[in-house]
Amino acid sequence: MESSEPFIRSGQLKRFLDIIFPRRCILCDSPHDGDTETICPNCMDKIPLIRGPACARCGIPFKITYSIEESLNYLCGECRNSPPLFDRALSVCQYDETVRDIISAYKYHNKPYIGKDLVSIILKFLDEKITELSPKLIIHVPLHIKRLKERGYDQAYILSEGIGRYLDIPVSYGNLVRTRYTAPQVSLSGGERMENVKGAFTVTDPSELKDRSILLIDDVFTTGATIRECVKVIKKAGARKIYVLTFARV
Ligand SMILES: [Zn+2]
Ligand SMILES: [Zn+2]
């Protein structure tokens, strides 16, 4: 027998469920029917997106009001003085109180499902830029196994997996590892952060990274100390290009 039109199609089911169990915003707790499950349109508008001119290397936004040609590849003072080890860093937004609350709910309050929304926000704003860079492998800044057990999920891996699946880029798992259990970077000053993560990462199978363009993913780019350590070992493994993608940057 031919199957008939399902009684409730997925769109209708979703609307029905929204009425019975309204989605609530993780930030303001108001019920909403916005594009993402966990952040209402009102709070979404508060996210400080990076859209204006920015450094062609590290992605830091320039504090200028006039527009500049992106193709001219202007660099910030820091990248001119001491260029970073990575080739390009991209972020969706700057790190302010709203973003801090989103990231903290995602990382510290057992809400791995927020990752799905972060992936769709990243793709909404950076899809084309990532595609232009055409990375051949995605890798994430990993948690130490002990922290992974405490948290139950690796927030940067969830982002990697979502982006890799959508853009059809293979995702590496378990090759870049954090060998040292370190104090959370958030509690430390700039200098302490560098010391804290020094030598904390290793690549177990360099052949996977050799001569390839790698996209390294993390949730937040803060002082860059953690990213720098990861980039160092990825470069040592022989990666051709290393791009960094984070949801937010300080
Ligand atoms: Zn809200
Ligand atoms: Zn820069």
Domain ranges (residues) in the chain: 26-249
Q: Distance, CA 34 to ligand 1 centroid (Å)?
A: 10
pLDDT in tens, 84-120: 999 999 999 999 999 999 999 999 999 999 999 999 9
Q: Residue 80 CA: which ligand is closest? A: 2
CB 28 within 8 A of CB 43: yes
Mean predicted confidence (pLDDT) in 167-173: 96
| Distance in Å, CA 171 to ligand 2 centroid | 27
Comparing CA positions, the residue from 202, 171, 40, 55 lying closest to residue 117 is: 40
pLDDT of res. 82: 93
- Residue 148 scores a pLDDT above 90: yes
DSSP structure class, residue 210: T
Handedness of CA 79, 85, 89, 95 (dihedral sign): negative
| CA 31 to centroid of ligand 1, rounded, Å | 8
| pLDDT (0 to 100) of residue 196 | 84
Q: How many CA atoms lie within 13 A of 1 on its CB side?
A: 3
Q: Report whether 133 contacts 213 (CB < 8 A).
A: yes
Does residue 65 carry a pLDDT above 80?
no
Rounded to an integer, the average pLDDT of 168-190 is 88
| Ligand approaching nearest to the C-alpha of 88 | 2
Q: Which helix (H) or strand (E) element contains residue 225? A: helix 225-236
**10 Å Cβ neighbour count for 105?**
16
Phi and psi at 139, nearest 5°, equal: -140, 150
Find the mean pLDDT for residues 75-89. 95
- For the chain, percent of residues with pLDDT exceeding 70: 90
Ligand nearest to the CA of 60: 2
pLDDT attached to residue 1: 45
pLDDT at residue number 6: 52
**Ligand 1 centroid to residue 201 C-alpha, Å:** 37
Query: Residue 183 is which amino acid?
Result: A
pLDDT at position 108 is 92
Q: How far is the CA of 148 from the centre of ligand 2 (A)?
A: 32
Identity of the residue numbered 104: S
Instruction: Name the one residue in this structure whose structure tokens are 């940057």.
Output: 249
User: Under CATH, which architecture does the 26-249 domain have?
Assistant: 3-Layer(aba) Sandwich (3.40)
Per-residue confidence (pLDDT) for residue 186, from 0 to 100 = 73
Q: What is the pLDDT of residue 12?
A: 73
Q: What is the pLDDT of residue 192?
A: 85
Is residue 244 within 8 Å of 222, Cβ to Cβ? no
Which pLDDT score is estimated for 173?
Answer: 95
Ligand 2 centre and the CA of 80: distance in Å? 7
* Average pLDDT rounded to a whole number, residues 197-208: 94
pLDDT, the chain, mean = 90
32 CA to centre of ligand 1 in angstroms:
8
Supply 100's token pair.
Answer: 């801090």
Distance of CA 108 from the midpoint of ligand 2 (Å): 30
**Sign of the torsion formed by the C-alpha atoms of 40, 245, 89 and 188:** positive
Distance 42 CA to ligand 1 centre (A): 6
Please tell me the least confidently modeled range out of 67-71, 210-214, 231-235. 67-71
For residue 70, how far is its CA from the centre of ligand 2 (angstroms)?
A: 14
Closest ligand relative to 43 C-alpha: 1
Supply the pLDDT for residue 45: 95
Residues 138, 141, 145, 147, CA torsion sign: negative
CA angle 119, 124, 128 (to 5 degrees): 110
Of the pLDDT bands very low, low, confident and very high (cuts 50, 70, 90), residue 17 is: low
Asked whether the predicted pLDDT for residue 4 surpasses 90, the reply is no
The position carrying tokens 């400080």 is: 48
